[in-house]
């Protein structure tokens, strides 16, 4: 008799049907949120150079993408506005305008494809002339409490337009509890809050800043409010605070460089955790494909599976439509 062990782990890998049967992690289009960039006008598509294959769309184009998401089985889209320079101010007041670009896109989506969820980003950086997520004092410091007051109004503005999920990405202390209380006060009991709970001051955000028109505006950096990438325990404290204040779900951002944070958050809190596969991660995959160093389909599916394996309930990714087409065959 052979001395080789009776158990051969390769047996269950030997055929495709068996690999499917024994897969520990399942990824479907229902696990995806598709981020989209909105621009003013009609019939407008503006390709974004730093994000090959991604465009800014006018509201009619966003509606078409929403219908595409529905047909692909993607349950939710996320909106980010490209605010014209003349509407940007130090206090980001355009974010409070009930007829701003975001609100028009939200209303159009909910009218055309009500079965698709709409996630609305809450932060002032698309609207500020200085590119920060909040108000800046004379010393250049982003002030917390007065910023939070504006974020409450921004969140209510988007909820009134029909947003299903309010997603504060600003990293101001205490804003989740304040926004939840304001939503409850308006009877918006079923409007969800997905908190950017552990958002790191990352080098992977560059293409996004091109997409929303804030690159070049930013004075200094965002390290006084976004997290230090050396810290993990602090991320758990951030998540605990946001959950206690009323967040329904939490997000870790960026994605792949912070898989360890995703795992720790999921194991500690046992709540729905989402990852944002950010613009720099998308751009790296596309650059690898363009250089002939990797296959797009394989890279996209492997990275998305990594998020699910780490414990994510879902992933925000610019590859959402491409991945859904692959999964739908």
Residues classed as catalytic:
199, 253
Please provide the distance, in angstroms rounded to a whole number, between the alpha carbons at the two ends of the chain.
Answer: 45
Q: Which residue, among 48, 33, 63, has the nearest Cα to 320 in the 3D structure?
A: 33
Q: How far is CA 157 from CA 96, 98, 134, 275, in A?
A: 6, 6, 17, 25
Q: 116 pairs with which residues across the strands?
A: none
The residues, any chain, with a CB within 8 Å of residue 3's CB and separated by 6 or more, are none
Whole-number Å distance between alpha carbons of 178 and 161: 19
H-helix or E-strand containing 196? strand 192-199
Whole-number Å distance between alpha carbons of 58 and 84: 13
Q: How far is CA 114 from CA 38, 67, 80, 215, 228, in A?
A: 18, 10, 19, 33, 39
Q: 290 pairs with which residues across the strands?
A: none
Q: Which residue, among 60, 40, 36, has the nearest Cα to 48 in the 3D structure?
A: 36
Whole-number Å distance between alpha carbons of 79 and 183: 20
Whole-number Å distance between alpha carbons of 57 and 80: 11
Whole-number Å distance between alpha carbons of 107 and 260: 37
Whole-number Å distance between alpha carbons of 194 and 197: 8
């Amino acid at each position: 008799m052979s001395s080789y062990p009776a158990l051969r782990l390769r047996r269950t890998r030997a055929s495709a049907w068996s690999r499917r049967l024994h897969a520990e992690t399942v990824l479907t289009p229902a696990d995806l949120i598709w981020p989209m960039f909105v621009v003013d006008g009609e019939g407008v598509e503006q390709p974004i150079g730093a994000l090959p294959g991604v465009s800014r769309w006018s509201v009619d184009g966003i509606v078409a993408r929403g219908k595409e998401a529905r047909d692909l089985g993607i349950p939710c889209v996320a909106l980010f506005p490209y605010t014209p320079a003349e509407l940007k101010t130090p206090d980001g007041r355009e974010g409070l305008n009930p007829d701003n670009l975001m609100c028009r896109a939200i209303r159009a989506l909910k009218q055309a494809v009500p079965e698709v969820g709409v996630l609305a980003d809450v932060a002032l950086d698309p609207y500020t002339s200085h590119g920060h997520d909040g108000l800046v004092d004379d010393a250049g410091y982003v002030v917390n409490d007065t910023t939070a007051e504006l974020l409450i109004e921004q969140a209510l503005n988007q909820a009134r337009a029909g947003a299903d999920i309010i997603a504060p990405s600003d990293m101001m202390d205490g804003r989740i509890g304040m926004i939840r209380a304001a939503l409850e006060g308006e009877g918006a009991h079923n409007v969800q809050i997905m908190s950017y709970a552990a958002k790191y001051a990352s080098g992977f955000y560059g293409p996004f800043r091109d997409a929303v028109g804030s690159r070049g505006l930013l004075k200094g950096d965002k390290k006084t409010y976004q997290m230090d990438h050396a810290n993990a325990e602090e991320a758990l404290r951030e998540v605990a605070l946001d959950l206690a204040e009323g967040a329904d779900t939490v997000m870790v951002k960026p994605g792949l460089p912070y898989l360890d944070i995703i795992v720790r958050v999921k194991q500690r809190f046992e709540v729905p955790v989402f990852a944002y596969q950010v613009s720099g991660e998308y751009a790296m995959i596309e650059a690898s494909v363009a250089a002939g160093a990797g296959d797009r389909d394989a890279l996209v599916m492997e990275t998305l599976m990594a998020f699910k394996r780490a414990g994510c309930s879902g992933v925000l990714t610019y590859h959402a439509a491409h991945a859904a087409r692959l999964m739908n065959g």
